[in-house]
Structure 1
Amino acid sequence: MPLCFQELVTPLLIDGAVSPLSPQSPLSASFTSVLPYHKDSGILSEAEAKKAQKALADGNLLEVVFAAIETLRRVPSTRVNIAVTGDSGNGMSTFINALRGIGHEEEASAPTGVVRTTQTRASYSFSCFPDVVLWDLPGMGATSQSLEDYIVEMQFSQYDLFIIIASEQFSMNHVMLAKAIEEMGKKFYIVWTKLDMDLSTRMLTEGQLMKNIRENILENLQKTRVRKPPIFLISSLEPSWHDFPKLRDTLKEDLSDIRYHGPLQNLFHAYKEIINDKVTYLQEKIATNSFQNTPGMRDIDDLAECLKTYRLSFGVNDESLQQLARSMGKESSEYKAIMKSQDLQAVITRGWKLKCLTCRVMKMFLILLSYIPSLDALIAPYIRQEKHNRMLEGVAEDTMTVLKKVLKDFTSS
């Protein structure tokens, strides 16, 4: 029976009976009435985009998450192209067969042999992942071409992930491949494929040998300042031993990240635009002092109470976070831990500007200023506006942070 990745876990189904919390604070309601519509909302239909805009405007984060998850569930499986490359003779084709869980004698297997067998790139499918294609590339030593020509001829730009195969030694070809792939902004693994041979010929324990191999790979990569990649030491003849199971698990996780990366970035961009529109709208109200009589803003100099109103307006108040956490099967503390606007002190300490505006010296200055009405009328409103702007920006940033965590957790589940 072929070795195969487990099916991706079906993400948590949200109970549709739960009624999304809708704070509808006066600040939210007033923004909803002047809501702009962004035509370029990517994977969202016009109706979905308008619904998301209204939900974010209302501070109904749970409804935003519901809609986003439904959108992500409809995203078709994206084809993922994985390139297997390295030096000739490193056992790339044998590795591909082992990863696919088939023997070299089977009809669909990649050809293997003691002589060079891969002259042109060839593609192979995964039986358990029909939308994943493994590309067996000719080794770097197959021709006398330069690295630049090899990258162009092998069409590196089309691959989503690279697996660099090495054995016996980690050569300069491997290092330069890793450097080139990193400069393209692509993810890659280093896979050492003939650990069984190393163990049979070296007078070292398995642990010490594996440690030496890893250190040698990292030492060579560091010479060209290549970041530390995932490194797996395996035997292609023993696909259930050493790092092979870890390789499968890592690949399964990364396949999910690759598939969802584009749609997630698209959603984040759309949501950020809506949140920025809301921030701009509220900042205009702050600048014109037109929110003084808004419920929840009884005293615009009571920053702690105003912060609560802003958090309610964006849907990141405690009650909203608790309902969101229950719906996602999480603890609200997970979301609160990544927020920087949980309370006034947290907001103040996050940036020097607000810290200066609320320090004791500034408070004394404002008290003295109140005795000079002509100056007080000019300076005090500006200082008040800056305080509120900093708080507002912090709450808006936390809204995006929570949204990103919720949706990333969903796609990785």
Structure 2
Amino acid sequence: MGGSSSRDQTAETSNSSFFTEDELKTLKSEYETGGVAKVTPLIQRKINDFDKTELNIAVTGETGAGKSTFINALRGLNEDDEGAAKTGTTETTMEPTGYKHPTLPNVWFWDLPGMGTKKFPANKYLKVMEFKKYDFFIIISACRFTENDVKLAKEMKRLEKNFYFIRSKIDSDLHSLRKGGRKVNEEEELEKIRNYCVRNMQEAGIPTPCVFLISNFNLNQYDFNLLTNALEDDLPSIKRSIYILSLPNLNVEIVERKKKELKKRVWMLASLSGVLGAVPVPGVSLGCDIAILIGGIIDFRKCLGLDDASLQRLANRAEKPVGDLKAVVKTPLVGEITPDIINRLAWGTAAIVISGLEIALDIIPVVGSIFGAGSSFLMTYKLLTGVLDDLTVNAKRVVTAAFGTD
């Protein structure tokens, strides 16, 4: 029983590394022949991959389908928030317009003009939109998917780009059905809409369309989680991680998925700390790189929506006073990161590190073994793991306070 548990723990830790199995083997081999100096460029190159990789998400569809509103929802914004995409019932997008994610500058949402307008007839549209630039496409319709939507999908398939169909304004459809006091079986009606969309696309020549039913004003309902799962499955590892971290905090499940991805950043930052060497923390015999630690805390709280700007956006979205959300945050890590806070973190972690060095190195594969017991790698790893746990608990409290549900 104990041996099985140990293996499970090792596997879990290994899966949370930001290195692939092949990269871990290369690191070990390079270390054995050249020491830390030889693995340093490999680790820094991997970190640069995370920092420089862009994710470009294209959203297209006909006028009035809700493209801009969907982009705002994915960015956690209301239409009157600063930087929000312009919405309207007429075509407001006359050229591809990029909207940067509010906290992840390498994530871009592109609002593409609807195809089939006078300015963008089908044959011209496919040439000028630079399809190869985008990682995947979302095609939105507020009713039925059209001939232009099918042409778009076929072109994307030819270019080997992933695409997903969204049937928007589902909440409006159900509201209309309920007018006059009519009783509505929501599941049956949703299935009718989904089947109609799928049949519509199949008849037009798309054999296995992925159709998701979405409300732009309440992403927690209907198929949004199914959509995000499909996107994650289709993206390569680094872009999948970036996409998950870009999601708005709608429920505790998303917060937990972000934590899993940020655990990989713990490895990344700890590895960087290991190659740079230990910087003593005042009052504590063990050391870590303080600048890396502070940077990690700031990055984690932004990704988990605990910085002031993110809390205000969430409050706006949930229509709650921002003070109500801040009131449930019970950690000093959301304020200024002072030497005193780092000291308290270090003192709390030092005993754990000292008492569990051999166990820790046993379950941290390859990388931990490279840097060794008592290293800056291990101290940074332990400190940031504790930081991530603390911030995750508080992010879940905030989401529950915002939406009144887990």
RCO greater where, 1 or 2, for CA within 8 Å and sep 6 or more?
Answer: 1
- TM tier relative to shorter chain: 0.3 to 0.5
Higher helix share: 2
Which of structures 1 and 2 has the bigger CA Rg? Answer: 1
When normalised by structure 1's length, the TM-score is: 0.45
Q: Normalising by structure 2, what TM-score?
A: 0.46
